[in-house]
Structure 1
Amino acid sequence: MANIIIVLILVALVGYGIYSYVHHLTHGGGCCGERDAAAKKVKVEDHNKAHYPHTLVMGVDGMTCQNCQRHVENALNVMPGTWAAVDLAAQNVTILTKDEADEDAIRQAIRDAGYLPLRTTSKV
């Protein structure tokens, strides 16, 4: 009788393991939807960097992949007069703005994208 119970428990564990593996393959897992289609990159309308005299470099926590990079850049590039570029290795974002940067709005946009804005490392 004990052997039957042990076999049933093992069958249930193997079944759950197979289900979890298949679910991970079909529905994704890991970082920020890496198995989902990549978000379309939001491009700024004005590509002339001379039109962006203000620069702000801010740390961002929680970015681990290129999808994270694109999410943060998109969240900032939709803001008027803003051009953002993420440095994933340095865990920061460089934000070029046409007018004086509104740090509170930038921090909120990063939070809304699902990441944690850290200290501002430089402001020019």
Structure 2
Amino acid sequence: MATGIISIIIVLITVFSVKSYMKKLAGGCCGGTVEPKQKKYNNKNISDYKFSKTIYIEGMKCKNCANHIENELSHLENTFAEVDLKNKLAKVNMKSDIEDQILKRTVEKAGYSVISINNNN
């Protein structure tokens, strides 16, 4: 009986280890291929944006994470976002001021946590 339980535990550990390793091989912590930056950007000319905020984000681990957050933020009306994975932040340029709560919900909807939001104006 004890041998059977130990065998099941070893099999489960092996399965989870292999799944985790395969996920890393497939494209980073998020699995699959790297999410491309989407073409749907508003205007990239920074001088057209009067407002800017920096969002410090927790949970980004790979380029796929950064692209996912950048795509979500850039889909907000009249925004252009750039994510810096190394410094764990997103700079959001806006034509009109967007409430911090909207930015926070957008990042959280993407699956990440907001540490803080700073106005750059």
Would the TM-score normalized by the shorter structure come out above 0.5?
yes
Structure 1 segments unaligned to the other structure (5+ residues): none
Instruction: Tell me by how many angstroms 1:22 deviates.
Output: 3.5
Larger Rg: 1
Q: Does structure 1 retain, via aligned residues, the 8 Å contact 2:73–2:106?
A: yes
- Percent pairwise identity: 21
Q: Can you give the 5+ residue segments of structure 2 that lack an aligned partner in the other structure? A: none
1:64 is aligned to: 61
RMSD: 2.4
Q: Is the 8 A contact 1:42 1:78 kept in 2?
A: no
> Would you say the 8 A contact 2:29–2:62 is kept in 1?
no
**TM-score relative to the length of structure 1:** 0.75
CA shift for structure 1 position 25? 4.5
Letter in 1 for 2:19: H
SS in 2 for 1:23: helix
Matches within 5 A, 1:96-107: 96-107=93-104
Q: 1:109 to 1:32 in 2, by over 3 A?
A: farther
Give the CA deviation at 1:12.
3.2
Contact kept in structure 1, 2:34 and 2:63, CA below 8 Å: no
Count of residue pairs brought into register by the alignment: 117
Partner of 2:80: 83
Conservation of the 8 A alpha-carbon contact between 1:56 and 1:101: no
SS at match of 1:19: helix
Q: How does 1:21-60 map to 2 (within 5 A)?
A: 21-26=17-22, 28=23, 34-43=30-39, 44-60=41-57
The normalised TM-score by structure 2 is 0.76
Partner Cα distance (1:58, 1:18) in 2: 39
For residue 110 of structure 1, what is the aligned residue in structure 2? 107
Deviation at 1:7, TM superposition (A): 4.5
User: Is 1:11 the counterpart of 2:7 in the alignment?
Assistant: yes
The alpha-carbon deviation at position 109 of structure 1 amounts to 0.7
CA distance in 1, matches of 2:54, 2:78: 16
Q: CA deviation at 1:10?
A: 4.5
